Structure 1
């Protein structure tokens, strides 16, 4: 009998669309803003109108083909998505520069890349490769050559760097300076000028971003979600959250919709808690989904030390008592690692098209949306 239910947020309660928009805009900024690579083939603005957002999203993710491919390989973090998409184009640019600069260009891949290194590459690109062509669709073709899944996809960038530039490197990883830069730039887009300092400890590097946090799109009417979670709580279920969103991006919209109050506050686990655990235990990184950390932490409670969470024996003995509700393969894989039940909602990026994949993976339950969860509970 199910006693504890842990919910994902994006693709279950809130639409992922604005996250994907912010991801595309982050890649766009890193490529075209003078603050970063400053490529000349596009115009950059920190305050694009909606039609421009739609154009950028369509181009950067190749009509979402790149997004679908990344998610099909088990990547659930938008930070990782941006890191993959941008780093791939960075490697391609250094490949173009190599014939003229030799080891001066490829040495960039041997160490860490942060703002000073990007500034140098920007200078080289402006003079030696002013017509460099960003090929967004090539990402999928290159990554499809290898079997990399989940966190291995980030490391596979090192393989691509060696193939394209002839240099061995371990620079591309979640522990890199470049990943940190990407993560903070994404936060600027999602939170906007007014909120970003509270999240990343500094003001935005590129003022003018209004953020998407106040423009969230609920998947089902908030009043119906409130009724659902109120009913679950009244029936005695313990309900929590395991999300790839940072804390502020979880609490603000769910509070605004009066949803958060129905959850056990000791079991609302966010990407902020994951980052803290990764800093405490770097050998375990990355610990974002499909790593089971966020759901195990939700199961045990925020008051449980991370040392107990990372060393908790899996699969759990009482797996039939725990249900994870998510929309992605990453959520499914996390549930399987834990040894608990999994309910897939068909309200993520792929919509109803995801049914076949979840049927193939033998998900315990497949729901049209989160409201149907009551039909599978006793």
Structure 2
């Protein structure tokens, strides 16, 4: 009998569209802004019009084919998606630079941070001003690998070896470039007014309005609130395990009168995941499909991160816990916990994801979150 229900947010309650927009803009900025790699061919602006956002999203993620590919490999973090897209283009750039500047290859064996990007910018402007970013090339190059989940990030190290002849292990979820990606994404999503509270500094390029006040609910908020009210009345404990940081979770859900229905001790966000990764670097990465956020939601925020990481898996009484998510990463997390999983067909792939979830033997497949009451009534 199900007693605890743990929900993802993006693709379940809130649309992922603005997250993917912010992801594409982060790639665009890191590659073309004079503050970063500063490549030729694009005119960067921190407050693009909606038409520019649509164009950038379409180009960066190749009509979302790149997003679909990355998610199909079990990666659900927007930060990881941006890291992969940016890292790949930087490896391609260094490959082009090496015949002109042999020392460029050495950057791959070191951390790629702001200073290193500034050096790349200067070299690219001096020696390869005609270098063209090729977003579509990402797909065939990564399709050659069978890497899944966190191993897909590490695959960039192999590409660096193949393309530039450099042995490196610097491409990972705890490198300087990943941190730069994470902070720059937060600038785009939160905007100038809120970013300092998230990353501890003001935005590097003022003028970003943010998307936090432009969230799109998947189901009318009043209908979601009624669903959660009924579940509360029936005695279910409701929690959240999301890849969103805390502020990006609390602000929109509170504005839609949804947060109140969840046990505050069981609302786990990417902020908690980052805290755990900093305290336990040997366990990195802890983002989904790692089950950390859902196990933390089950045990409660007061449970020390170390105890969550050491909690035996699969959990006891897995039949009492239901995870509700829209992605393969959510399913894999639920499976490693040994609990039940309900897939919602409201993520990036929509109804097309039905066959994949059926193939992976999800316990339930729902058109949207409202179908949850039907399957619970049947139990």
- Structure 2 counterpart SS, 1:366: strand
Q: Which residue of 1 aligns with 2:33?
A: 33
Q: Which residue of 2 aligns with 1:98?
A: 98
- Structure 1 counterpart SS, 2:342: strand
Q: Which residue of 1 aligns with 2:370?
A: 371
Q: Which residue of 2 aligns with 1:18?
A: 18
User: 5+ residue gaps in structure 2?
Assistant: none
Q: Which residue of 1 aligns with 2:220?
A: 221
- Structure 2 counterpart SS, 1:137: helix
What are the Cα deviations for residues 101-134 of structure 1, in whole angstroms up to 9, with x where unaligned? 12x0100001111111100000000010101010
CA–CA distance in 1 between the matches of 2:281 and 2:40? 38
CA–CA distance in 2 between the matches of 1:99 and 1:237? 63
CA–CA distance in 1 between the matches of 2:174 and 2:243? 17
Q: Which residue of 1 aligns with 2:316?
A: 317
CA–CA distance in 2 between the matches of 1:304 and 1:38? 44
CA–CA distance in 1 between the matches of 2:267 and 2:59? 35
Q: Which residue of 2 aligns with 1:285?
A: 284
CA–CA distance in 2 between the matches of 1:21 and 1:63? 12
- Structure 2 counterpart SS, 1:6: strand
What are the Cα deviations for residues 228-259 of structure 1, in whole angstroms up to 9, with x where unaligned? 00110011000000000000000000000000
- Structure 2 counterpart SS, 1:241: strand
- Structure 2 counterpart SS, 1:99: coil
Q: Which residue of 2 aligns with 1:274?
A: 273
Quote the offset at 1:309 in angstroms: 0.2
CA–CA distance in 2 between the matches of 1:336 and 1:98? 45
Quote the offset at 1:47 in angstroms: 0.3
Q: Which residue of 1 aligns with 2:249?
A: 250
CA–CA distance in 2 between the matches of 1:175 and 1:245? 18
Q: Which residue of 1 aligns with 2:59?
A: 59
Quote the offset at 1:135 in angstroms: 0.5
Quote the offset at 1:333 in angstroms: 0.1
CA–CA distance in 1 between the matches of 2:274 and 2:344? 26
Give every structure 1 segment of 4 or more consecutive aligned residues whose post-TM-superposition deviation is greater than 4 Å: none
CA–CA distance in 2 between the matches of 1:375 and 1:363? 16
Q: Which residue of 2 aligns with 1:80?
A: 80
- Structure 2 counterpart SS, 1:324: strand
Q: Which residue of 2 aligns with 1:115?
A: 114
**Correspondence list, 1:285-364, <5 A:** 285-364=284-363
User: 5+ residue gaps in structure 1?
Assistant: none
Q: Which residue of 2 aligns with 1:171?
A: 170
- Structure 2 counterpart SS, 1:13: coil
What are the Cα deviations for residues 236-288 of structure 1, in whole angstroms up to 9, with x where unaligned? 00000000000000000000000000000000000000000001111001000
Quote the offset at 1:200 in angstroms: 0.3
CA–CA distance in 2 between the matches of 1:50 and 1:5? 37
Alignment length (residue pairs):
377
CA–CA distance in 2 between the matches of 1:301 and 1:4? 12
CA–CA distance in 2 between the matches of 1:314 and 1:213? 35
- Structure 1 counterpart SS, 2:42: coil
CA–CA distance in 1 between the matches of 2:315 and 2:206? 47
CA–CA distance in 2 between the matches of 1:271 and 1:101? 39
RMSD across aligned positions (CA): 0.5
CA–CA distance in 2 between the matches of 1:318 and 1:198? 39
- Structure 1 counterpart SS, 2:365: strand
Q: Which residue of 1 aligns with 2:238?
A: 239
CA–CA distance in 1 between the matches of 2:91 and 2:253? 39
What are the Cα deviations for residues 190-249 of structure 1, in whole angstroms up to 9, with x where unaligned? 000000000000000000000000000000000000000011001100000000000000
Quote the offset at 1:349 in angstroms: 0.0
CA–CA distance in 1 between the matches of 2:232 and 2:275? 29
Q: Which residue of 2 aligns with 1:140?
A: 139
Quote the offset at 1:9 in angstroms: 0.1
Q: Which residue of 2 aligns with 1:124?
A: 123
CA–CA distance in 2 between the matches of 1:157 and 1:148? 11
CA–CA distance in 2 between the matches of 1:175 and 1:348? 27
